[in-house]
Structure formats: C-alpha cells, structure tokens
A and B are shown apart, each in its own frame.
Chain A
C-alpha cells in the first residue's frame, strides 16, 4: 500500500476521534449548564423559604414577649405595645437576645400593628431600612384596657436584609 493512502486513512480515523471528543465534551458542558441552572433555582427557592422563616420566627418572638402580650393567646395589649415602642430604641442591647441576632448582624425590621375592627389605628416600630425585605403578616387580637375591648388586628413584620 502506498504512503499517501495510509496517511489518508489515518487522517480519517483521527478526524473520527476528534469529532467524538468534541461531541462528548459538548454533551458534558450542556449537562453541567443544565443541572447548575436547575440547582440555582432550587437554592434561590430555599433562600426565599429561609427568609420567610426568619420573618415568621420574629413575629412569634414579638407575640410572646411579656412586654406586649396580654393573657389571651395571640393577643397584644395596645398600651404595653405603645410603651414598648417608646422604649425599644434606647434598649437595643437589652432586646438583642429577644430579636435573635437582628441587631448585632445589622438586620433591620419594621413592625406594624394595623387595628381593623371595632377600633382602628396603625402603630409602627421601625429599626431601619434596607433594599430587599420579607413580609410576614399574622392576625392578632389587640386589647384596649380603657374600652375593655378586643379588636381584630394584623401584625406585619418586615425584615430587611
């Protein structure tokens, strides 16, 4: 067999090998991109869930604070809440264990109590603002010792990060 025929045959086989390598490399790259995009979505969802959990945990902390709650379950005493609103700003270190690590890690929150029925009013405790936030809302009763009434209200906790 002549030299040129052998060379051509060899080149053809090399081309086959190169094509196969290119094909499998492209396949692997495609699979890596596909699964990493899938994983990214899954992580984003988990991150969103953990932010919601933080906001709902903070709402539970607030609802169970003896400084503001009344004797009934899921109830806030409006006078205690107003007194707490005045005092919380000047006692940040004292309240930092109650609010988890929100103060120390420079998290900020916004607590709003919107009284809907029969009395009405909106009361807010704010400790700062941020770019992204998670909102958690919870129905509560608000007790007014003067009128001796329990009102329906929504407690909104917005955690900024």
Chain B
C-alpha cells in the first residue's frame, strides 16, 4: 500500500514538473523579445533613405551638389574629383552617424561599377537599407545606398 502511494506521488511530482516546464517555455516564447520592433524598423528604414537623400542634395563646391559630383566621379573616373567627394561624404558620415555610434556601410554605383564604398559594420544582426537613384547625362543611373545597423 505504502509503495503504491509512493509511486503515485512520484508520478504526480514528475507530471507537475513537466507542466511547470511547458508553462515557462510557452510563456517565454509568447512574450519574449523575439517580436519585431516595427516602430524601430520603420524609423531606421526612413532614416537610411533620408541620410542618402540629404547627402546627395547637399551643396558641393560652387553650384553643384554631392550627387552631381558623385556622377562626375562615375562618368570621368577622375581620381582628384573622386578623392575630394569621398572625403566630403566621409566627413558628413563621421559627424553624423559615427558620432552617434551607429554602424553603417555606404556605396555608390555607376551602372555596375562601384564608384565609392566603405563598410563600417563590424557585427550586426539586422540592417536597414536606403537607396537613391540619380539619373546622369550619359543615361547610366548612379545608385547611392546606405545600410544602417538596427540597434
């Protein structure tokens, strides 16, 4: 009689522990941090596009914009023009994104040729990408893109 009772008690304890584990696992998976932060993703998506748009619309030297200078760099492949515009974009990104400890990568492609590219992303789980396409006088589009790591 006592042995049977002890066995039943053992089974009951095992069932209770099993239920406890299942409840904890279900609870953690339903309210855990895996839900996507929609606000953050939308904000970062808009942020990446706005950065590229603001950079290419910024005045550069006399009269033109950084977007036009990038297009000239792509068309003529002039090292001096490319180095100068590269420095300017790096200055802007350092004073804005880098200063705020954001990880980013910037690319500018004229057709299939990469005019400019730098990658400041070490490790990142999720990124957001924004791209602006600029038409050039040759008809080949210049694609300027920025990828920002979502924190």
Contact = CB atoms under 8 A, between A and B. Distances in A.
Nearest to A56: B43
A154 B95 CA distance: 9
B57 A150 contact: yes
A38 B57 contact: no
Contacts of A73: 53
Nearest to A147: B59
B75 interface: no
Contacts, number: 68
B27 A38 contact: yes
Contact of A34 (B16, B27, B55, B92): B27
A116 B59 CA distance: 12
Contact of B59 (A56, A138, A139, A150): A150
B65 interface: yes
Interface string B30-47: 010100010110010001
A42 interface: yes
Nearest to A149: B59
B51 interface: yes
Given A27-B16, A27-B20, A74 B27 contact: no
Interface string A67-111: 000001111000000000000000000000000000000000000
* Chain B binding surface, main DSSP class: helix
Contacts of B51: 139
Q: Looking at chain B, what size class is its interface with the partner chain?
A: 20 to 34
A38 B31 contact: yes
A34 B24 contact: yes
B114 interface: no
B58 interface: yes
Contact of A52 (B43, B53, B58, B91): B43
B57 A141 contact: yes
B54 A140 contact: yes
B117 interface: no
A152 B22 CA distance: 54
Q: Identify the 5 closest CB pairs spanning chains A and B, nearest first.
A: A149-B59, A139-B54, A152-B58, A116-B95, A139-B51
20 contacts: A42-B31, A49-B37, A49-B39, A52-B40, A52-B43, A53-B39, A56-B39, A56-B43, A74-B54, A116-B92, A118-B59, A139-B96, A140-B50, A140-B54, A141-B54, A149-B59, A150-B59, A151-B58, A152-B55, A152-B96
Given A52-B43, A75-B57, 7 more contacts: A49-B40, A56-B43, A117-B58, A140-B54, A141-B57, A152-B54, A153-B54
